[in-house]
Amino acid sequence: MTSRRRVLRVRDGVHTTRPDTLTVEEPLEIRVGGQALSVTMRTPGDDFDLAAGFLVGEGVVRAPADIRAIRYCAGATADGGNTYNVLDVVLADGVAPPDASVARNFYTTSSCGLCGKASLDAVRTTVTWPVAADPFATDPAALAGLPDELRAAQRVFDRTGGLHAAGLFDADGKLLCLREDVGRHNAVDKVVGWATRAGNLPLAGTALMVSGRASFELVQKAVLAGIPLLAAVSAPSSLAVDLAAELGLTLVGFLRGTSMNVYTRPDRLGLQPS
């Protein structure tokens, strides 16, 4: 979703007024069974996928049957209107809601995440599909093409220059799904949510490519969706590398053309440390 605004453009001392296309950013409140869970700043669109993917990343949802319904909440405004910025997820009977003691009831930005030993322990105990034994194999040449494939598929980025992207690829570098958002975490949630609602979890034998850096939370989301390889165009954090190493995820950073840093499990690329 985009919006148009007038902007004063200055080039070489000459200024002109012209329209500019901006990425829309609005809050989305995610509720589970009517109880508020999180508020995230996102680009409207694919909101149901975002909510489903978020709950996969929280270890709550593992299959489409775990979700009975997702709906926008009417009456979200004082006059009873619908802002389409509040979602309620109704879980199926027998699916445990998020634990109130660990539920993240806070305002979420694109730079936030979990950290520390408690977070590592939480991910370790909620993994449904261990990725360490996934026989996924590719090669550096196939990975080298992912950033260009990702960029070429970013339709809204072409118009605004202001969006992150997450793309799901097979071992041959074929793009399976792409989502854009102002937040990297949201883009990944939308991809995972798409796969969840289509009944494609776990995402064994796939690679996730993200714009920007690879944070702990992105590694967490990949592992909980059963994705064995995560690649990013920028750097990973130390905690992201720690989690990837512990759980057997292949983590690649600074993927730019034929140049890349492989931080964990290089064997999936047919490589061995020298």
Residue 112 bears catalytic tag: yes
β-bridge pairing 35-42 and 107-108: parallel
Of 73, 112, 115, 177, catalytic:
112
Determine the Cα–Cα distance for residues 100 and 37; give it in Å rounded to an integer.
9
Determine the Cα–Cα distance for residues 165 and 182; give it in Å rounded to an integer.
8
Nearest to 177 by CA among 49, 23, 41: 49
DSSP at 95: P
Beta-carbon contacts of 14 under 8 Å, excluding residues fewer than 6 positions away, are none
> Is residue 130 reached through a cis peptide bond, with omega within 30 degrees of 0 on the bond before it?
no
- Strands (E) across the chain are located at 2-11, 14-23, 26-32, 35-42, 67-72, 86-91, 107-108, 164-170, 175-181, 206-210, 229-232, 250-256, 259-264
Residues with active-site annotation: 112
